[in-house]
Structure 1
């Protein structure tokens, strides 16, 4: 699990570490790790060439001290001080003393397609979003050259705590220190960070109390495997979970079928298709094990494909009266303001749906997904899964947002949200808390999509079992 801390927390942790270490010790730890990463990527030192773009402050210092180490190992190093009057003086002197060659802006541009690697050490977590024109020219030239870029702490130009992809360097690898940053996890900014390498430089989060609580926890496959509910020899269909589904309509019958696909192939014990007659028939034809008679359920999925349902609020209130976990998706979200919810209820909006719920624009949600998913969870008192390229799960009153395992863009198609609702509903019925059900369900879909060719949602759902087998075998 990857923990992400805010800039404010990182600053506090650095100050605590400065107080108990020798002057410059943290920078030496960081630059040593950066040099090691660069040497691994270069593969050898004989004849290899590196261009270092050094900005002001500690970020540039990390790059320069790493350059000193590379030059000492026989790498041909050129260094360009982006702001010469603010360059890290000790790092600059050490780099040149070990044989690095200083170059100006024009020479740096000319070198970009002649070196084996470019080191972006311009701006760090204190930088403003975007780049000044002269630095933007360097970033654009680096990308055009095709030479791989290693960014120090984060690609210069990105906002450490944000998701937007401001004009920035595009890194093949980002070597970051102390903790991952939000921009390295949240799309579309994360796409510009390349492969992420987090270096432990000795920050003590526990010493900060509440200030050390992470803003994000991004799950990985191992975490999903550990959390997934696995039946035992004593299990039956009821202990595995019975899921009630009221999804789809005469206009959108496929939505109900797709919810059932997600639940069935995620391993639920039983599915009761209890929506429109047309949907129940279509679901039974697709999945013969589905039951259309009412009866006991341990969770509900409602709302997908309802359309403009006049009795939607009354139907949602009836389902909530069962006092079991309820997942509310798509058209069902329109009725959320009319009912009372609790943390065991799971809302699954995409950015546009969340914007409508909160009375803001989609652009506002996309610019600040964390702020808006927190706001929705606290306002409605329910757990919220914000779907998209990065999938966020917020629980009311909790400071840390869970982030699902990332997946490819192939799942951005009609029906994917319906099958995801089915998976999450199956996990709710199996007894997982809403936040865990949401992050595990979203992760299963992403992991399956990453391992398969492009498939429509129902066909991708049919491959869930293969992914689960692989995950649980490793467990």
Structure 2
């Protein structure tokens, strides 16, 4: 499992470690890992032209010491000093001893244009807001050059704790981060600026639970429901799908498709799209008598394509089993009814739906995904899965660790994809997973299935559903 810690926790761990190490040893560890990553990226170091963008903080020192190591291996290294009077003295001296040179920001265009590698050490993890004008100009020059851009710990201009980008920022091909991931490296929009991320172990002892975590194959394997010798379809769990309408029968079909592949033993469908569901999936148990008379289920999915059927949403929310609320169900669900539930609830909005629930703009949600998912989870007292380029999952109440999903593809932005995810995650709820685990595992499998189905080309939601089994096998095989 990958974990990410906030700035205050990282800094406290760094202080504790520095107190036990000789002066400067921690920075040398970081610089060694950074130089090694740069060497791996460019291949042959000798003769390469390297430009360091150096600010006044420790990130600038890391860049200078790494630049000195590259210079000793035959690279031509030029440091651009954005704050000459406050440049890290030891790092600057090391670079000059190794044969590196310095230039002022106004003289940086030529070296950057000719560079093979640009190392971003402008701002550290404590930076807030976008880059200042002179730094923004250098970032734009690097972005427009042929050079590979490597960020030190975090791309300058993005916010470490939130993943927000409030102005100009460096766009890196590679980010070399130290000790632990920072939340902004895992969450959009900042994640888009980080490029590939390489973690360098510098010996930090990080106490307590992280702020973010991202599941990996081994974590998902441990959570997947596996039937035993004594299992039957009812012991494995039954998921109820209350979805679809005369206008949107396809939403019901796609939600059922996801549910049938999610680990539950049986799927009950309730709604007006029964004929469409049976035509595609004859194994579905279909009822037109409403949720209260559908038969026993271990979890409900309500809302995909439901139109204005507030009565069905209310009936499902009144049940005593876990409930997943999606799409129209989010609009129709009463806040008090959700907060008053004693069984787990998982809400699965996309950014537009989350914005409507919070009374803010979609742009605000997309710019601050962590804040939005925590606020929604707190307001409704429910677990929330916020869909998007980065899918994040918060537990009921909004406190504790937020899960971020590492799988997916932009081709999943297609009609009906969310219906498949709802059915899949609802089935995992019925199989016994917690709301956070069901949402996280569902998103992981769904994203992986999207990759497998697309393979770099447009894909339909039904194809994503069909690829879930292959994603499941891939996870189990490791």
Q: Same fold (TM over 0.5)?
A: yes
> Offset of 1:21 from its aligned partner?
2.2
Q: Do 2:113 and 2:146's aligned partners in 1 also have CA atoms closer than 8 Å?
A: yes
1:164 and 1:406 map into 2 onto residues whose CA distance is 20
- Structure 2 counterpart of 1:292: 286
Q: What is the RMSD computed on CA atoms of the aligned residues?
A: 1.7
> Offset of 1:419 from its aligned partner?
0.6
> Offset of 1:326 from its aligned partner?
0.8
1:61 and 1:472 map into 2 onto residues whose CA distance is 44
1:137 and 1:364 map into 2 onto residues whose CA distance is 26
Deviates more, 1:359-368 or 1:25-34: 359-368
> Offset of 1:317 from its aligned partner?
3.7
The answer to whether the aligner puts 1:473 opposite 2:477 as a matched pair is: yes
1:371 and 1:144 map into 2 onto residues whose CA distance is 32
Q: Do 1:342 and 1:381's aligned partners in 2 also have CA atoms closer than 8 Å?
A: no
1:342 and 1:362 map into 2 onto residues whose CA distance is 30
Unmatched tracts of structure 2, length 5 or more: 288-293
Deviates more, 1:332-341 or 1:411-420: 332-341
> Offset of 1:338 from its aligned partner?
4.2
- Structure 1 counterpart of 2:6: 6
**Count of residue pairs the alignment pairs up:** 464
1:238 and 1:173 map into 2 onto residues whose CA distance is 49
Render the CA deviation track for 1:390-418: whole Å, top value 9, x for unaligned.
Answer: 11111124321111223211111221111
- Structure 2 counterpart of 1:125: 125
- Structure 2 counterpart of 1:16: 16
Q: Do 1:341 and 1:380's aligned partners in 2 also have CA atoms closer than 8 Å?
A: no
Render the CA deviation track for 1:124-176: whole Å, top value 9, x for unaligned.
Answer: 11223211222111111111113111110111111112233331111110001
Counterparts in 2 of 1:473 and 1:303: CA distance versus 1, 3 Å: same
The answer to whether the aligner puts 1:463 opposite 2:467 as a matched pair is: yes
Counterparts in 2 of 1:319 and 1:38: CA distance versus 1, 3 Å: same
2:280 and 2:16 map into 1 onto residues whose CA distance is 60
> Offset of 1:203 from its aligned partner?
1.8
The answer to whether the aligner puts 1:318 opposite 2:322 as a matched pair is: no
- Structure 2 counterpart of 1:393: 393
SS at match of 2:13: helix
> Offset of 1:343 from its aligned partner?
6.2
> Offset of 1:106 from its aligned partner?
4.3
Show structure 1 runs of 4+ deviating over 4 A.
Answer: none
1:85 and 1:109 map into 2 onto residues whose CA distance is 21
The answer to whether the aligner puts 1:412 opposite 2:413 as a matched pair is: yes
Q: Do 2:189 and 2:367's aligned partners in 1 also have CA atoms closer than 8 Å?
A: no
1:66-465 alignment runs, 5 A limit: 66-165=66-165, 166-206=167-207, 212-276=208-272, 279-293=273-287, 294-309=294-309, 312=310, 314-333=311-330, 334-339=332-337, 340-342=340-342, 344-397=344-397, 398-453=399-454, 454-465=458-469
- Structure 2 counterpart of 1:209: none
SS at match of 2:144: helix
2:356 and 2:158 map into 1 onto residues whose CA distance is 28
Render the CA deviation track for 1:189-211: whole Å, top value 9, x for unaligned.
Answer: 101101111122222122xxxxx
Q: Do 1:343 and 1:382's aligned partners in 2 also have CA atoms closer than 8 Å?
A: no
Normalised to the residue count of structure 1, the TM-score between the two structures is: 0.94
Q: Do 1:404 and 1:443's aligned partners in 2 also have CA atoms closer than 8 Å?
A: yes
SS at match of 1:126: coil
Counterparts in 2 of 1:146 and 1:452: CA distance versus 1, 3 Å: farther
> Offset of 1:289 from its aligned partner?
0.9
Render the CA deviation track for 1:343-367: whole Å, top value 9, x for unaligned.
Answer: 6111111122222223333333223
2:315 and 2:170 map into 1 onto residues whose CA distance is 53
